[in-house]
Amino acid sequence: MSDPFDLIEQFEADDDESPLLIDPSLPANHRSGFVTVIGRPNVGKSTLMNRLFGQ
């Protein structure tokens, strides 16, 4: 099993941009990303997301 930090370093070291990740309809200065919230059951992951998104 790969170490997640090794995968992050490998991704950051890859300089050529994948065309699958580029949407030509977005402005050049558009920024986006992904966030993963992980944890044990019943520790407030859904509550955190609901509070962040105002639901």
DSSP for the chain, please give it.
Answer: ---HHHHHHHHHH--SPPGGG--TTS-TT----------STTSSHHHHHHHHTT-
Domain count for the chain, please give it: 1
pTM for this one? 0.39
pLDDT tens-place string over residues 1-55? 567 677 667 666 666 655 556 677 888 888 888 888 889 999 999 999 899 888 6
pLDDT tens-place string over residues 24-38:
788 888 888 888 888
Q: How many CA atoms lie within 13 A of 26 on its CB side?
A: 8
Residues spanned by the domain of 32: 4-52
